[in-house]
Amino acid sequence: MPFTRRDFVQRSAITGAGVVLAGSVEVLATAPGALAANADEATDAALTDHHHGLGYGPLISDPDGILALPKGFEYRIITRTGVTTLESGESTPSNHDGTATFEGPRGATLLVNNHELRGPRANWPHPVPLIDRLVYDPAASGGCTVVEVARHGGHVAEWVGIAGTSTNCAGGATPWNTWLTCEENEDKAGQNGMTKDHGYVFEVDPRDRRANRDPKPIKALGRYAHEAVVVDERRGHLYLTEDAAGPNGLFYRWTPPEHYCHGRGKLRTLADNAGVLEAFKCFDSGGRFVDDLSRANEIGTVYGVDWVEVPDRDAKSVPTRKQFKDGEVTRSRKLEGMWWGDGGVYVVASFARAESPAQHDGQVWFYNPKRRTLTLKVLLGVNPDPSKDGAFDGPDNITVSPHGGLVIAEDGEGVQHLFGAVSDGRTYAIARNELNIGTADKPEFSEFTGVTFSPDGRTLFANIQEPGIMLAITGPWRRQR
């Protein structure tokens, strides 16, 4: 039964106002650029919060020019494109992106690592190797690798999980311990040298290499510029983000068919039209339709959510986001990473510019499937000087920290960070990328990606996308309250 605008208005009237529904949901806000804070005040707050018990102190520059960390923390390079090699002998593929960790044999940690490589293989010096029986489209350059890190960090092995996919950006771990890798791409066979249609989700099993043979797209989840996916194990829904513009992308929900039960390898057995794929539609406490998430400019804003079925999920002639008229669905620019936690879905909108009704430099929303509400938890105003350290912008990959709050990978302009956000409205820096891939006069720093903790919570893994470096960060982690 759909949750309608009338339901939301009536519920809001009972509580007094729509935003009152946020009372039971802890609100996260960022000091840098949050709400009306000016840039200097925000930066000062970010740099001094450690004096009040938040975070781990100021970042210390790295003499090796890779990663600045707080005192007491250290990093280790796990894989590096052009340096480390796969079991098959080729270089670790480049452009590391979404990543998740899984428990491996004998206390090892397994990581599935996306490689965001688009277009023909000839365009990239280090594409994902085409390993027999693991290839979807031999013309495509992307895919996933599986990295095994021994219990004490000594031995590292890496092999191909899937090849011949395109623009593998984010994805999501499943409750049955597999990885869903997402193609942020809409190329069809014959476009950009591809021999098959792209824009799908594929399942990769880090523990069973045989399960990855003969890759099959999960067409039931739709064909569009996929970004991330999470699983609601209790209700069976999958939630998916779309990173696209012209028009802006959508937030989707897939409902499984009746009597379907999730499990390893089950998704690839689904019929192409199995279940129902829907896009979300938001409305405020007054029942007014919300056309774009960028209009929310206050932490704690709550929207009711309804769902509208996608007419042609395989986008045979019209992209899914263009199949809706104005007023039928809610849109958002740069819908990026997601993570399941606290009984719902944390969803990132990385930034909004002229293509959106209002501008911002980052939002994190929380969708509560039980209440069917979407609450704005993190809001970053437009960063006036991205080259200045301390202010955060462009959140992308995200994870819920076992030490409290969120850890977010920055994909903004200028300086790039890993940073945390906690429920009392403060943020803190965890790491800064110091690998300059530009010049001394015009420095450039690649985005962070793939932020995720080890199963025991002791190691934070993250990637520097270019040239492609996977890092393991350890130190005196403590509860951030």
Mean of pLDDT values over 457-472: 97
Q: Is residue 413 situated within a structural domain? A: yes
H-run or E-run covering 337: strand 335-341
Q: Which residue has the higher pLDDT, 289 or 386?
A: 289
Return the structure tokens found at 258. 């009746």
Range of the domain at 50: 31-84+385-481
Kindly state the DSSP code that residue 91 receives in the 8-state scheme: B
Overall average pLDDT of the 193-204 stretch: 98
Q: What is the Cα–Cα distance from 472 to 458, expressed in whole angstroms?
A: 10
> Does residue 273 form part of some domain?
no
Q: Which helix (H) or strand (E) holds 240?
A: strand 238-242
Sequence-separated (6 or more) residues with CB below 8 Å from residue 343: 368, 369, 370
Q: Express as a percent the part of the chain with pLDDT over 70.
A: 89
Q: Which uninterrupted H or E stretch holds 8?
A: helix 5-15
* pLDDT surpasses 60 at 274: yes
Residue 36 located in a structural domain: yes
Beta bridge partners of 276: 255
State residue 389's pLDDT score: 81
CA distance 113 to 166: 14
| Per-residue model confidence (pLDDT) at position 17 | 27
Rg of the Cα trace of the chain?
A: 21
What is the strand order of the sheet 168-173 is part of?
A: 168-173, 179-183, 201-204
DSSP labels, 423-471: TTS-EEEEEEE--B-S-SSS--BPPEEEEEE-TTSS-EEEEETTTTEEE
For the segment 183-212, the average pLDDT, to the nearest whole number, is 97
* Residue of 421, 430, 298, 406 whose CA lies nearest to 342: 406
**Is pLDDT above 90 for 262?**
yes
Q: pLDDT tens across 356-405, in order?
A: 999 999 999 999 999 999 999 989 888 888 888 878 889 999 999 999 99
The predicted structure's pLDDT at residue 52: 56
The count of domains in the chain is: 1
Q: Is residue 336 part of a domain?
A: no
Mean pLDDT score, 171-187: 98
Residue 5 in this model has a pLDDT that exceeds 70: no
DSSP 401: -
33-42, 49-58, 188-197, 409-418, range with the lowest pLDDT: 33-42
Strand order in the sheet with 469-474: 74-80, 469-474, 460-464, 448-453
Mean pLDDT for the chain? 89
Determine phi and psi for 210, rounding to 5 degrees: -65, -30
User: Is pLDDT above 80 for 34?
Assistant: no
Q: What is the pTM of this model?
A: 0.91
376 occurs within a structural domain: no
pLDDT of residue 22: 28
* Mean pLDDT, residues 115-120 taken together: 97
In a domain, 358, yes or no: no
Whether 334 shows a pLDDT value over 50: the answer reads yes
* Max Cα-Cα span within the chain: 64
User: CA 277 to CA 310: how far, in whole Å?
Assistant: 6
The helix/strand/coil state of 336 is strand
What is the structure's pLDDT at 45?
43
Q: DSSP per residue over 304-323, as a string?
A: EEEEEE-S-TT-SSS-GGGS
